[in-house]
Structure 1
Amino acid sequence: MPHKIGFVVVSSSGHEDGFGAKELMVHAPTVSGWRSPRFCQYPQEIVIQMVERCRIRKLQLLAHQYMISSKIEFYISESLPEYFTPYQTERFHRLGYVALSDNEKTSYKARELKSVYVNAVGQYLKVIFHNNYTNRYNLYNQVALIAINIIGDPVDYNEENLDPEVAQIIRKLDEKKQEAVHHENYDYAKKLKQAIVDLQKIQRAPESSMNPPEYSSSPPPQQQLKAAASPQPEKERSTEKKNKRERQEKLPKVTSPKPGPQRRSPSPPPPPLPPPASSTTDSRINVDALPYDERPLPAQRKQKDDTFTYLEPETNEDIVGDTPRSRITGEPEPLTEKASREAGFAIEVFGEALVAGAYSKTWSYREDALVAVYKKLSDMPTTTSKDDLKNMLRAAVFLIRRAIKDKVSSVFQASLRLLKMIITHYIPKHKLSKVETAHCVEKTLPDLLSRTGDTANRHRVMASNFIQEMAMFKEVKPLLIIPVHLVQPLKGTLPSRLALSQVELVENLIKEMGTDNSGFTVDNVMKFALGALDYTTAEVRDKAVRIILHLYQQNRVQVLDHMPTDETIIRKNILYKTLFDGFSKIDGRPTESELKAQKKAAAEEAERKKKEEIQALQEQLAALKEMQSEVQAGKGKEQIPKAKADDRSKKLSMSPNSDTLDDQSSVTNYLDNLCIFCGERDESFTEEGLDLHYWKHCPMLKRCEHCKQVVEIASLTDHLLTECDHKDMFGKCQRCTEAISKDHLLEHVKTKTCNPAKAEKVANRCPLCHENFTAGEEAWKSHLMGKEGCKMNPRRIMALQRTQPGAQAALKAGGSTITKTGIVGAKQRPSITGSKIPAPRAGLTKTTIKPQPKR
């Protein structure tokens, strides 16, 4: 009874990332299916291998809703061709085609399920997709197939008109072969497969000898007799006729194969019937005699996993000692004129027969040629002349270069084994010079690197591993050829797989070889890695970052010399930020993000303290104003006693109270007109007058040139580093502790011409004149206001000129109260350190005064 046939995808002409043909092997509601590459060339094709040889009854295809092929063709085959290319389809026989709807009626929302009824026997099915329908959703001219289902039943060996006993033996051998494959015993499975093929040959040999030599449209008499005698019920024949009519309706161009022995009868093209695999005769090689495990694989096809690795040719290391595939008969095809000219030197050395094998279209001949060269070079006596040895080496390298580019895995591996033998055995054995080793490496390395970008992951890994292994050969390592070649800058046009493989090779070899006398230097590796940071693929950039971080662990100073010093470039480029964060972690320092978090926490703490200080100051001012209001209220209520003149005791008792009230009033009035920073007192120092004084005249204050805030000169450096709106423009010099513009910070640090700062407890540091002077609060007044004070403070001279007349007037008045209160005002200075004076109200520019932090 027909049932669902399992299958695997052998190859496809291409696919979009994430939509490989392997997706067709999974049947699930969420499967995405296969999708052709964007803007691909048509036709596109997929080759499917069924789990066993079967008779296909029906094919079901689920098309995409808008990536729809205009026509889908079907081909079937018993085995794969030698070279699987679109124009070499002699093994595949066309069944026909179906046309799909353009889906415009459903507004490209529904998916079409197409059922195709066929009656064909084989194990390989090829599906060819032609040009897509154009619509507004299909932007990249793609075709897609969501799912494919194969309905059929296994082919009994009795259908091939074999002897019943032989068919029974073949059936048992096939079961054992399937069991061996299930247990991954591929060697045993190959032997069983060969035994099945041999039995089929023996059974069919008498019939083949009876066939007429010429082709005809009708089968031979012997086959007609067997066809008449073959057990085929009338019911089955009528069913096949009905199926044929259905196929003609569904698949108008299908030529269905006829059942029975007629399948073994060849006919002129176009062949309506598939020719048997066992009767194919080829003057070059009887490929059908090979087990299907050793038949040539499709060229240029991507094999993502090794689920069916038994389809690949055997690559056993013991292949060198034996003559492989001894059962293959025939000779390779002769060389073309172009090949003869190209391989003229190799023909002179090895002979035309061997080189013809290396140029053959059959992969087994190409592998045999390399094995023959391997054996010939291994057995070469040491008495051979140097010239002959060199000629053989160079001819072998020529053949190796050609074999490295081969798409067949076994040929590629044979070329690697031969190259390794030449470098590690042949050259040392015959004591050839390093020039010959360099010749081998220089000629083959570019081809090996090109294979690291192969679409087949297995070939890519083999090439990368061999390059790493070859770089560590004791004969190759001193030449420094491979490291120097690998660190060549990446070109922007280089394919991403090649670029990724090259960066991986550099990363792995640096870890193994280091940068001392290895061909890798900090300079050439850093140039390579920095160039890789600009590559378009993220994986390449990430590996370049890892290379730089690895180098930094060994050579920190040299690596930093190659890194950019411009802070803006570092901040804008996320890769540079990652690198510098990595440097900080290696050095045990906090990263930039951690520093920002610490600065933010410190700023928040400082702001909290300032708010507390402002609140305390406001409470003090409120208390003073309350005292002043009480004094004024008491003054209004006070009445001068009009007692008798002789009542002195009462008058004297009131005099001390009046003096005390006068002193308190004078102190309050003095504080109201006093600058708490410079100690200057003026009757014009009202609230607006003090704002103007702070803004223009106070010698202890200065306007920030960047944010226009008024700050104390003593705290100017801290303001520029932590509070200023442009604080990101400044950095701190560890030598002089001052705020320096980042544009000049590097030059400032390198020149070391600044005056070194002393400890804060020992001396103060003036940010204007850059001089150290005595520590303490009063020292700041002396430095910023004194006659011999800071020469760079422009307000100092103005303050001296303004305060000298006031001082002389105070001396003339001789008022001891002023002197006393002046001292009191000076003593109040420490208590209001850290104060924040509000900005002026009279339309002045923003003048928030930043206080000096407590020391």
Structure 2
Amino acid sequence: MLKKIAYSVSFVSDEDLLFPASELNSHGPSVYGYRSVSDSKADSHELVLKFLKPALVRRIQILAHQYIIPQQIEVWLHYSDHKIPSTPSSQLYDFIGFITLSDNSATNFKSRELQSANVAPRKGTHLKLKLSSAHKNDFNTNNQVSLLAVNVLGQDFNSENYPKIKENADLQLNSVCDDLLFSMYVEESIADTIRELELKKSEAVLNERFEYARKLKLCMSSLRTAGERLGRYALAKRQAIQVEDFIAAKLRKEQMDIYRTAILKHLLVDELLEKNGLQSTNDVSNDIYSSKPMLPPAPSLQEVALGLTSDTLLYTKSSQEDKSSTDGNSSVSTAGGFSVNESLSHHIFMLKHPEIPCSPRLSACRSPVYSSPISSRHSSLRRRNKSAPRNSYEEHDERTIPTLRQECQGAAILDADPSRGRSKLSDRERRQAALSILIFGNELVELIYSRQFQDREEGLIRLRNFLKEQLETDSSSGVNKIARSTTMLLYRSIRDAVYSVFCQSAETIRVFFIDYVPNKISASEVSRSVDKLLPELLARSGDPSPRIHTLAQHTILTIAACSYIQDQHLVAPSLSRPVGSGTHPRLALSRVQMLEQLVLSQGIGSEKQSGLTCRTLTEAGSSGLHHPAEPVRKVAEKILILVYKINPRLVRKQLPPDDDITRRNLLYRQLFSEFDKIDSNKKIETNLSQSSNCESLSPNHCANSVPRWKGSKIVKKSSTKIMNQHNDERFEFDNDGLLIQCPFCDWKGYQSQLDKHFWKSCPFLTKCPQCSQISEIRSLNNHLINECEAKDNFLICKKCNAAVHNQLLELHLLEEFCRDIKPKEERCPLCHDDIQNPQEEGWEKHLSQPNGCPGNAKRRLNK
């Protein structure tokens, strides 16, 4: 299980003083985030996060700004033992990958992008983020880059369990509170309360107090909704403080306090926390938690302002009455005893703040004390001479607005009977859902057809619970009708525009096909359900919102993975249809991506109806090659490569002839190059197989035709030697290019594997921490000074001849390893140990022996 890894920012290349990098140390709705210095000419900006203790990193979440957005973020990880120096000058980072951020022009620079990337299990103590230059837009006038939040998820590092951890294991969150969306958008006090409730829920499950655990789960869900609203209020309060509108900030603070108190009281949070000991009432159901609790409405700023003003005026009135009773002289001269100046100041306040929203449920609609906010505002401003004629402006100004009157009446109806606000079914809808009403009842169908998205969510939850209850019964009567009714309701819910409703629909589809359908529903009814739902899911897979089309793809692949769906071939034929050039890029990309996943998971079949035959996949891939969108062409190319490994002749026949004219096209050139690699590998495998078989024959059968084994290498009589730049004869292979030896170590392999060996396992080579170029370890200092892209930032230490960043030279001089070098010796740039006899076997012993360089990660890997 993943949990949040605590960290602190230990190094930053540059920062804006108003938005320092230390803002990343905490998460919340009111944090400012990090920004680089204004008008910086640097190509990249670096941040180093130091973990409080060593951790195993599994996932990295990054929340970007709405318009101050870097184009790309490189992620580097460093692990340092306590015995090895851990200053920035001595840290060597391993490149994990990079995250690309969109320019956000599609959302008019109003939304924040959250990127979440899973990584292979990697141990580390420091995480470095390298931010590239910013996307250009009219809002980012100072050419800055920004990050609002960085969240690192993983596990505590344990050297004993580290080798046993699989890459795709335990990727679930230990707590919903560890997710970045939760910590950034839920108000801090509510977030702390939810964490306490989560601990209580775990204890309740262990003690088998399931009713108590159910209440805690419902309470946490409702508190999260309220916490997100309080988070928006906190953000508005921060913005008011920035523009020095302290009256609006005070109103926001009062609004948050009132709403927070009301929510905690309504949801009985103090009772559920059991701070005074175990309470038996928590194990018994009550009215509030009979279903998902309905939250009370939040007070508007106008209601808060009226409440504060009434308290002030009542206090003034009582003080003036006390003064009049003492002095015998009353100074109150307006109707109702309120001061003209105070009412006028309130009137001016409302005029100065027209942005204060008017709630449709004003206190005037609920309380007889304030019959109308407008009339109460002007009651103290009426002329003392009541016989004077009133002008038409005052009459019009005090008249009740019809829209407000209707909203207030609707609010009163809802407060009296919440169920009456639910949408009633029309005659057409009732005829359409006749079977569903018969199976599930009128109340559940009304919830799914409601205009309130909360009702639609509740209806889908009830539908899912109904299906789970049916699993416990052995009755097989009416199951096909239940499936047909469920399909009809899900068909309506899939097209819902609200994301939360679509999530509930996707989860209900998963339960329906995975849990309910197997061994219960007839094959014809399963086919009917898939034919009804699959086209709508395919349409949603091309939705502009990434989270919607990703969830739609996942749902389709979940359905396709069911064995009874595979037997009937219900999903793959719809995905393997040729992609037309006029198909929308998002929809076309989703289809070919899902088709690729089906090929990888289910393989290429031979049945014509399966939709995964070589001919069908070749036609689909060929059509994707002609799509105008490049991502579609790339995935189509991968599909053709998968088919080519099985039936190369069919793929070659479907494509243009492989000649010089065709290879002028970049797409076909790359595709045919991949085909050539596959053919070459097959040829190598064939030659090796013939060589192996030849060993069992007599020498007369194979001496003149095929190669023979000699030691661990395949050689021929007329072998060719290729010398490297060091004039090393170890770099040799035969005429067919079968085997080759690394010019630095004793590794042997194929020519196509040499680059991978240099990058991954050669103990004499390393990646430059600045430009990622592969360089010899013994010449790393020379590379940083003379060849690296960042060579302008490095200089040579006159004391130890090491390459040091010019901003870290003072720290470097304080290190213990910064010492004079003896004559005829060299120093390792990784561990700072002295190398004796460097011109002979000193470097080889230091870098390749098991007890050699402790800072060489490749040596430890080979060990």
TM-score bracket, shorter-length normalisation? 0.3 to 0.5
Greater Rg, structure 1 or structure 2?
1
The TM-score normalised by the length of structure 1 is 0.39
Structure number with higher relative contact order (C-alpha < 8 Å, ≥ 6 residues apart) = 1
